[in-house]
Amino acid sequence: MLENDSYLSYMNLDEHLSELKQRAEESSVNAFAPYSDFIIGAALLMKSGNIYTGCNVEFSDYLALHAEVNAIGTAINSGENDIQAVVVFSKSSPPVLPCGSCRQKLSEFAQLNNHDIQVIAFNDKQEQIEFLLSELLPGAKIQVNKK
Binding-site ranges for Zn ion (CB under 5 A): 66, 99, 102
Read out DSSP for 40-53? -EEEEEETTS-EEE
Q: Which residues of 4-18 are buried (b: 16+ CB within 10 A; e: fewer)?
A: eeebbeeeebeebbe
Closest CA to 44 of 98, 114, 95, 1: 98
Closest distance between Zn ion and the C-beta of residue 74, in Å?
Answer: 15
| Beta strand ranges found along 6-127 (DSSP E) | 41-46, 51-55, 83-90, 118-123
Closest distance between Zn ion and the C-beta of residue 61, in Å?
Answer: 16
- Nearer to Zn ion by Cβ, of 85 and 102: the residue is 102
Closest distance between Zn ion and the C-beta of residue 71, in Å?
Answer: 11
- Catalytic residue (one of 25, 68, 108, 127): 68
- Nearer to Zn ion by Cβ, of 102 and 120: the residue is 102
- Nearer to Zn ion by Cβ, of 1 and 106: the residue is 106
Closest distance between Zn ion and the C-beta of residue 6, in Å?
Answer: 26
Strand order in the sheet with 128-132: 51-55, 41-46, 83-90, 118-123, 128-132
Cα gap 45→47, rounded to integer Å: 7
- Nearer to Zn ion by Cβ, of 11 and 74: the residue is 74
**Any catalytic annotation for residue 127?**
no
Catalytic residues: 68
